[in-house]
Amino acid sequence: MNNERRLPAEWEPQDGVLLAWPHEESDWQPYLELVEPVFVEIVKQVSRFEMAVVAACDPEVVREKLAEAGANLERVRICQIENNDTWARDFGPITVEDQGAPHLLNFGFNGWGLKFPADLDNRINKRLQGLGVWGAPLETVGLILEGGSIESDGKGTILTTEECLLNDNRNPHMTREELEAELQALFGSDRFLWLANGYLAGDDTDSHVDTLARLCPDDTIAYVSCDDPEDEHFPALKAMEDEILAFRTREGAPYRTIPLPWPGVRYDEEGDRLPATYANFLVVNGAVLVPTYQDKNDAAALEAVGRAFPGREIVEIDCLPLILQHGSLHCVTMQLPKGTIRF
């Protein structure tokens, strides 16, 4: 174990959250009127608790929309940076503690296995460095890794999926053992919980763990649970649940588990299923932002996440438009731990 490094948990103190704004040259073009209000609401809610750093092609337009919505603009920093898309979770920096100080890791992002263009998104972290946003060193790492593919408990354990991290469209030159060794050196993590099962139809990420199961405080795992035996997901998610129930903490005890409800089926205009998931929540200082989908199970999902994070405000954000491009709330955000932003 690399005792000099530690990968913080998402619920630890933060400076802010990184987002990238949708625009007409992105895949959001047909849905801009639907999706921009979602981004406005996310930034508005984040700015209640901490800083929002926004990469945007047209900062003035974004600033006007946020001002109209009543966002705390003193806690919003908009940077003029071109972007391919809006999935900050997967191109944003992953922050470790290095000898107690924050250290930003800039991994390669290849559009989830070369599925989509990512040339502009790959430059965002370096552009933010050039604009003086970062208050900590930025290290570029020669490894393909997306933030949505890993979960950390802050104590040396990483939860991930085989389908994503071991996919030959990411780092085909590395075995599981080699990848674990590399992540141990980078993150200081010495325990890996691998999920062999679980997926969402319509997901482009090859089963990112943040769509399926989340590490939470006090050795808790919140996970997507399908209660419909007729649904195509039922066998895989039941197998995933069995894996989670079999996991043990570092001390050898079972994890506290919180099943998240299964939202109703949603389809796009072509009749393809969309990957709605309540697991895609974002933890910020003092609160948890939870995606909802105008669904009968929204209230139950908010209650379940509240049990996973007692004492935090639970903030509902309608993310139905976000799943039109096959992601949700956590996917479009990346937390920036304490000490990472130059104020």
Number of other CB atoms surrounding residue 101 within 10 Å: 10
- Distances, alpha carbon 120 to alpha carbons 54, 59, 116, 145, in Å: 15, 17, 11, 16
Structure token digits, residue 41: 């609401």
Regarding beta strands 138-144 and 191-195, do their DSSP bridges make them parallel or antiparallel, or are they unpaired? unpaired
Q: What's the pLDDT at 112?
A: 87
Number of other CB atoms surrounding residue 3 within 10 Å: 9
* Residue 2 pLDDT class (50, 70, 90 cuts): low
Task: Please compute the mean of the pLDDT values over residues 261-289 and round it to a whole number.
Answer: 96
pTM over 0.75: yes
Structure token digits, residue 54: 């926004």
Q: Is the pLDDT reported for residue 10 higher than 90? A: yes
Task: Please compute the mean of the pLDDT values over residues 260-287 and round it to a whole number.
Answer: 96
The answer to whether residues 159 and 208 touch, using CB atoms and an 8 Å cutoff, is no
231-257, pLDDT tens digit by residue? 999 999 999 999 999 999 999 999 999
154-122-215 Cα angle (round to 5): 20
19-42, pLDDT tens digit by residue? 999 999 999 999 999 999 999 999
In one-letter notation, the amino acid at residue 296 is: K
Domain locations along the chain: 5-337
Q: CA–CA separation, 103 vs 296, rounded Å?
A: 42
Q: Where are the alpha helices (DSSP H) in 85-157?
A: 88-91, 111-114, 124-130
Q: Is the pLDDT reported for residue 199 higher than 90? A: yes
Q: What's the pLDDT at 144?
A: 96
The answer to whether residues 321 and 86 touch, using CB atoms and an 8 Å cutoff, is no
Task: Please compute the mean of the pLDDT values over residues 313-342 and round it to a whole number.
Answer: 98
At the topology level, CATH places domain 5-337 in L-arginine/glycine Amidinotransferase; Chain A (3.75.10)
Task: Please compute the mean of the pLDDT values over residues 112-117 and round it to a whole number.
Answer: 90
Q: What's the pLDDT at 114?
A: 86
**What's the mean pLDDT when you consider all of the chain?**
97
In one-letter notation, the amino acid at residue 301 is: A
Nearest 5°: phi and psi at 170?
Answer: -110, -75
Nearest of 229, 251, 255, 232 to residue 242 by alpha carbon: 255
